[in-house]
Chains A and B, each alone.
Chain A
Amino acid sequence: MLMTRWEPLAELGRLSREMERMFSRDGGSLGHLLGANAFPALNVWEDAEQLYVEAELPGFELEDLEIYVTGNHLTIKGQRNAPKHEGGTWHRQERSYGAFSRSFELPSDIDGDRVNARFHDGVLRIELPKSEAVRPKRIEVQRS
């Protein structure tokens, strides 16, 4: 006999999908599909010299963030703590807390010594200069 069970976790999953739709901020691009469940969401820009990575990390402190670059791999780690309250009642909790770690493959090798990261208004901005070897070089054409 086919049993229909109430599955609280499935219910939660459905709720969370509803929430995701409600808060949907995906770029409408492939990125959303690839990194759908990864935290934090990343935007990556590129020009000839550098890559620019941004992530929204509201509620984090600068000292709680760690950034590592190896070759073309970027790793961001951090921890966000919940506000502390004695007693009382939480009516709504849409924000999430805890530790995260995300590794990301960049389109080119990075000069790790010159990486520059800033954290302002809860937004992390990382400037990653491309390593000398992968930067475009203009070749002088010699007259023969």
Chain B
Amino acid sequence: MSTAVTQNAPIGDQAAKPDLTDGNRAGKQAQCFLPRFDIWEGDDAWVLYGHLPGVSSEHLDVQFEDHRLTIHGKVAHHQDSRTLWYGEYGVGDFQRSFTVGESVDAAKISAELKNGVLTVRLPKQERAKARRIEIQAH
């Protein structure tokens, strides 16, 4: 067996939560939507990109506990005094959780929010990095 300890599917998705409701008309309270995410894996880290439009950094909560990365973003409601003439999407908070394998270096997780896109970087622990074996020619 190889010594590389790259695990299969180290980031599981716990998307199907019962408290996630379908969209409704904008303006109502207590709605939670599932944000769209991309997950990329490189040699040194996993990088998650999530769409959280309308969430500012002070209303964003990214937690890592017990191998579980949870993202919750609050979206402010507004436009109450106006009449909704036409609606194609609901407005509400965003929440999503991912289970993360042992191979993530939890202390070095970093997150950045820009233009409604959350980028979470999950560095791999040294022992989890794939090693390239130099082959010597004789």
A interface list, Cβ under 8 A from B: 22-32, 35, 38, 41-47, 51-52, 56-61, 83, 85, 87-95, 107, 119, 121-123
Known: A91-B11, A121-B115. A43 touches B89 (CB 8 A): yes
Q: Provide the residues of chain B in CB contact with A24, threshold 8 Å.
A: 22-23
Q: A31-B87, A32-B88, A45-B85 are in contact. Are A25 and B115 (CB under 8 A)?
A: no
Across the interface, name the chain B residue whose C-beta is closest to A35: B88
Contact A122-B117, Cβ < 8 Å, known A44-B84, A94-B37? yes
A107 vs B33: C-alpha distance when bound (angstroms): 29
Decide: B86 and A44 in contact? CB cutoff 8 A.
yes
Smallest beta-carbon distance B5→chain A, Å:
16
Find the A residue at minimum CB distance from B116: A122
**Does A57 lie within 8 Å of B53, measured CB to CB?**
yes
Asked if B53 and A45 make an inter-chain contact with CB atoms under 8 angstroms apart, the answer reads no
The A contact surface, by secondary structure, is loop
Q: Contact at B54–A121, with CB atoms within 8 Å?
A: yes
Give the contact-size bracket for chain B.
35 or more
Contact B40 A43 (CB under 8 A): no
Give the chain B neighbours of A46 by CB distance below 8 A.
Answer: 82-83, 85
Measured CB to CB, the nearest residue on chain A to B90 is: A25
User: Which B residues between 78 and 115 are near A, CB-CB below 8 angstroms?
Assistant: 79, 81-91, 115
Whether A56 contacts B85 in the complex (CB less than 8 A), given A90-B39, A92-B37, comes out as no
Contact indicator A61/B23 (Cβ below 8 Å): no
Contacting pair A47 B83 (CB below 8 A): yes
How does the 8 Å CB contact mask read for B1-29 relative to A, with 1 for contact and 0 for none? 00000000101010100000011111000
Question: Does B82 contact A43, Cβ atoms closer than 8 Å?
Answer: no
Residues of B within 8 A of A52 (CB): 79, 82
Q: Are B116 and A121 in contact, CB atoms less than 8 angstroms apart?
A: yes
Q: List 27 A-B contacts (CB under 8 A).
A: A23-B33, A25-B23, A27-B24, A28-B24, A28-B25, A30-B86, A32-B87, A38-B88, A41-B89, A42-B88, A43-B86, A47-B83, A52-B82, A56-B89, A58-B51, A58-B52, A85-B42, A88-B42, A89-B40, A90-B40, A91-B39, A92-B13, A92-B39, A121-B54, A121-B115, A122-B116, A123-B54
